[in-house]
Structure 1
Amino acid sequence: MLVFVIPLKSPQVSKSWERVTKLFERCIKSVCNQTSPDFRAIVVCHEKPRIDFAHPHITYLTVDFPPANETNPVAQGNTDKGRKILKGLIYAQQFYPTHTMAVDADDCVSKKLAEFVNQNPNCHGWFINKGYKYQEGSKYIYLKRSNFYKMCGTCNIIRYDLNNIPETAEYNRGYGYYKYYIDHAQVRDILKRESKNINPLPFAGAVYVVETGEHLFYDSNRLKFNIFNRRLLNESLRNEFGLHNSSNSILTTV
């Protein structure tokens, strides 16, 4: 079984909680659109978002540790995200997952992930080498042919026992304590050094949604769109990734 862990930022540090909520609703619909019913989704949050969508495989796990503050927004935000991912991974034990995947709450994922994992339960895991990049409101989507995992946090599917979960979790720790869960681009190399190689996913696995106004950190290269990789956002792609309109006029249109 594949368990998705989705850390959701708190209303206190959101630039627009309405925008965060609408993007999350699309994300969770995408996650729950799996072709196999053998999955679970754990949403770790300070406050449960009010959305119209419900699914029996979703668990909302609320936390009581202080939300990130504005002293150092990137470091504080990453620490908050790491705490939530760890909390979700520990909670996931009760579902006896073979694998887990951290998903950023504004991204979308392929509906084929759970079925693929179920067919390969003993593999160390996979990193998403090929995926898509999308700017809200556009009629186009852009294929990222390689190194998607270096750009987007929704990128690693890890066998559960390789998550390096501490015996006793300490949620008052800082950024360094959670680096393994946050530094998505490093996971592949870390596991390789331990002779526990993860493989490239053999299909495009996720959509990285850019310029939402809620990202912690932006590398300007992530905002570049190569016209040669442009694809029309057709119904087939929308259905595979659940990439339907978020009904959010706040976001930029191109």
Structure 2
Amino acid sequence: MLVFLIPIKSSKVAKSWTEVSKLFERCLSSVCNQTSSEFEVIVVCHERPEMNFHHPQVQYIEVNFPIPGSTHPEKMEDKRKKLAVGLLAARELQPTHIMPVDADDCISKRLVSYVAQNPQSNGWYIEIGYEYQEGSRKIMVRKKNFYKLCGTCNIINYSLFSLPNKVLSDEPLTGHDDFLEGHPLAKIYLAARGTPIEPLPFPGAIYVRDQIGESTCMQEPLVATFKRNPKQAFRGIKKNLTLPFMQRELTDEIRDEFNIYPLNKYS
């Protein structure tokens, strides 16, 4: 069984809690739109988003961690702690694998059935995926290195984790970056341990760029991104130059597989 872990930012640090809630509702409906029922979802948050979508295989854990500050490291630390809470809670569900999902992204409806067919695998990283600018009629195809762009990119065998016994609100979790970051670090660390994960053989997720910049990475100034990770900053510049050559129509087939729909009218 695959357990999805979805951490959500607090309403107190959101630019628009209404927009965060709408993005999460679409994300959750995408996650639950699987062709197999062998999954559970754990959502970790300060406050539950305001929405109408509900599903019996979704549970919420509300935490009382201190509200993070405005810097990128503080926001990522909040995310790591929430993922740690979800990972610990997943023990009771006895999953074969877990998948961290960013609360604004959409995923393929084939993921759960593929995991169920390969229960002994170490896991997969998403090499191929899509990038979507909210409100557009087009979508960008990422034919390689999708995992370098998006936090929704790893499916990991649960038995490979070395988990803390508990998560304290004032305890930094930098020693667990390999699985709590929900980023390409999982691929690197697991390979170093002798338990490599494989590329998923089909497009696995859509990285969503919302219109008002609710994404933690999008809120980071370019100068700060350059200081933290120059390659990431240059990737953003390169993307803007190559965008017209990488886009395609957002087809009904893609909409159906990822359950992605416009939150507002198309631009």
TM-score strictly above 0.5? yes
> What is aligned with 1:51?
51
- What whole-Å deviation, never above 9, does each CA across 1:225-246 have from its counterpart, x for those lacking one? 5333222101110010011112
Q: d(CA) in 2 for partners of 1:168 and 1:44?
A: 15
- What whole-Å deviation, never above 9, does each CA across 1:164-190 have from its counterpart, x for those lacking one? 312343342225244221161221111
Q: d(CA) in 2 for partners of 1:164 and 1:206?
A: 26
| 1:230 equivalenced with 2:247 (yes/no) | yes
> What is aligned with 1:205?
204
| 1:3 equivalenced with 2:20 (yes/no) | no
Q: 1:183 to 1:32 in 2, by over 3 A?
A: closer
1:112 aligned partner, one-letter code: R
Q: Which has the higher helix share?
A: 2
Secondary structure of 2:216's counterpart equals: coil
Greater shift, 73-82 or 168-177, is seen at 168-177
> What is aligned with 2:189?
190
> What is aligned with 1:160?
158
Question: Does the 8 Å CA contact 2:102/2:151 hold for their aligned counterparts?
Answer: yes
Q: TM-score, normalised by structure 1?
A: 0.93
Alpha-carbon deviation of 1:50? 1.7
1:203 aligned partner, one-letter code: F
- What whole-Å deviation, never above 9, does each CA across 1:43-79 have from its counterpart, x for those lacking one? 1000011211011011011111112123xx2111001
Greater shift, 212-221 or 235-244, is seen at 212-221
Question: Does the 8 Å CA contact 1:27/1:107 hold for their aligned counterparts?
Answer: yes
- The unaligned stretches of length 5 or more in structure 2 are 219-231
Q: d(CA) in 2 for partners of 1:183 and 1:44?
A: 14
2:137 aligned partner, one-letter code: K
Alignment RMSD (CA, Å):
1.6
> What is aligned with 2:261?
244
> What is aligned with 1:92?
90
Secondary structure of 1:6's counterpart equals: strand
Q: d(CA) in 1 for partners of 2:31 and 2:182?
A: 22
Greater shift, 124-133 or 229-238, is seen at 229-238
Q: 2:168 aligns with which of 167, 170, 186?
A: 170
- The unaligned stretches of length 5 or more in structure 1 are none
> What is aligned with 1:62?
62
Alpha-carbon deviation of 1:211? 4.3
Secondary structure of 1:172's counterpart equals: coil
Q: d(CA) in 2 for partners of 1:37 and 1:145?
A: 28
- What whole-Å deviation, never above 9, does each CA across 1:142-198 have from its counterpart, x for those lacking one? 110101001100000000012331234334222524422116122111111111010
Question: Does the 8 Å CA contact 1:79/1:178 hold for their aligned counterparts?
Answer: no
> What is aligned with 1:82?
80
Q: 1:138 aligns with which of 127, 131, 136?
A: 136
Q: TM-score, normalised by structure 2?
A: 0.88
Percent pairwise identity? 44
